[in-house]
């Protein structure tokens, strides 16, 4: 799919002013509707609806749409991607049967699983590791956390993965009391407002995914205070994963396998086509959000991300433990959240190791 087609889609759907009540933009991208949805002889759905966000940590969504890996593997199943701005909004959409799968941050999946009797979603694969930075104003000296008191730090959403990450970081650095007293302000900030607020010094920092973090550095004069990867063992952790609605997974296992086949192909393609992947991501995000992603920003952002189909299970388990410690969930046990049989089946066809054998 070329960029002219992206632009047509954006005009068609953004022009309808289709907003959710919580100010989350939901753009149904009916961009890959091949055929009329006629079912094959096997038990397959008419459509597969995927949610994703406008971040480099969701790279496979943009590249897979552009290169048509998902559409080709799904064959007569209509592939319907949808753009969201928060992980929690995608989890609500899955719970309300508005999505079948989503590229989402791990904490949104953990919270959804914990609060839904553990029978709504399963993690079926990974999307990315890394690509999350804490960017601070240049006048904040490295290591001087007291500089953040009585100041505002931007995050994508309250009780999202980045919110928990920065609270855990400040807590580990002895700032728990300051957070309890409300001396550090965390503000959910839209991507299209982030650079202006940072440039005006309305924000002292931002814990955000790429390319928005690098945009603050290149165009907003900030610097990397912390790369979240440095806080994890071997710098490897799940920043984005794939979740699937459980009833969809149980009813249409072949469709799930077909999707994952396209996902693995897309992931491997990204690893071997850096320049074209950067172009697709930059142009796709700019077209869908209206925010320019310069080549300098894109190159810087892309080097912080690892495209993967591995969900990095151990990091999600650790995140669940943190979630319980900060009062977001009551039960940290999430063994039943994972279902890797479909992706392991596809990996075996390619003579690749199963998820549990991937060494991190």
- What does the pLDDT look like over 65-121, one tens digit per residue? 999 999 999 999 999 999 999 999 999 999 999 999 999 999 999 999 998 888 899
pLDDT in tens, 276-294: 999 999 999 999 999 999 9
Q: What mean pLDDT, rounded, does the chain reach?
A: 89
Backbone φ and ψ of 124, nearest 5°: -115, 0
What's the order of all strands across the beta sheet hosting 27-28? 27-28, 78-83, 47-52, 101-104, 238-245, 121-130, 305-307
Could you give all domains of the chain from N- to C-terminal order, each with its CATH number?
Answer: 3-130+236-357 (3.40.190.10), 132-235 (3.40.190.10)
**Distance, CA of 283 to CA of 153 (rounded, Å):** 28
Q: What's the whole-model pTM score?
A: 0.89
Residue 181 neighbours by CB under 8 Å, 6+ apart? none
**Distance, CA of 146 to CA of 144 (rounded, Å):** 6
Closest CA to 114 of 352, 353, 329: 329
Looking from the CA of 41 toward its CB, the CA atoms found within 13 Å total 0
pLDDT in tens, 40-71: 456 899 999 999 999 999 999 999 999 999 99
pLDDT in tens, 164-193: 999 999 999 999 888 888 889 999 999 999
CA distances from 176 to 101, 143, 203, 232 (A): 36, 16, 20, 20
**Distance, CA of 13 to CA of 212 (rounded, Å):** 23
């Amino acid at each position: 799919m070329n960029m002219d087609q992206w632009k047509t889609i954006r005009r068609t759907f953004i022009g309808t002013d289709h907003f959710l009540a919580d100010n989350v933009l939901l753009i149904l991208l009916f961009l890959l509707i091949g055929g009329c949805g006629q079912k094959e002889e096997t038990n397959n759905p008419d459509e597969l609806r995927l949610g994703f966000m406008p971040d480099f940590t969701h790279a496979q969504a943009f590249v897979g749409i552009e290169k048509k890996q998902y559409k080709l593997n799904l064959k007569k199943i209509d592939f319907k991607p949808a753009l969201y701005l928060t992980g929690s909004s995608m989890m609500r959409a899955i719970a309300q049967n508005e999505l079948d799968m989503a590229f989402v941050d791990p904490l949104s999946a953990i919270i959804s699983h914990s609060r839904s009797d553990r029978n709504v979603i399963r993690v079926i694969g990974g999307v990315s590791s890394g690509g999350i930075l804490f960017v601070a104003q240049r006048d904040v000296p490295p290591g001087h956390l007291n500089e953040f008191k009585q100041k505002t730090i931007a995050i994508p959403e309250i009780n999202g993965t980045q919110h928990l990450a920065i609270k855990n970081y400040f807590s580990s650095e002895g700032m728990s009391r300051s957070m309890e007293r409300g001396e550090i302000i965390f503000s959910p900030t839209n991507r299209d407002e982030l650079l202006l607020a940072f440039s005006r010094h309305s924000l002292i920092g931002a814990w955000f995914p790429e390319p928005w973090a690098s945009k603050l550095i290149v165009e907003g004069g900030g610097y990397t205070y912390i790369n979240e990867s440095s806080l994890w063992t071997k710098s490897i952790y799940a920043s984005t994963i794939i979740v699937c609605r459980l009833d969809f997974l149980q009813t249409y296992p072949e469709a799930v396998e077909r999707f994952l086949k396209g996902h693995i192909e897309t992931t491997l393609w990204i690893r071997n086509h850096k320049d074209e992947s950067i172009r697709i991501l930059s142009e796709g995000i700019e077209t869908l959000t209206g925010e320019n992603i310069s080549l300098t920003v894109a190159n810087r952002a892309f080097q912080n991300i690892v495209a993967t189909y591995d969900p990095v299970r151990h990091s999600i388990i650790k995140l669940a433990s943190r979630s319980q410690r900060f009062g977001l969930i009551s039960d940290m046990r999430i063994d039943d959240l994972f279902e890797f049989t479909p992706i392991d089946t596809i990996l075996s066809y390619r003579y690749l190791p199963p998820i549990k054998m991937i060494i991190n």
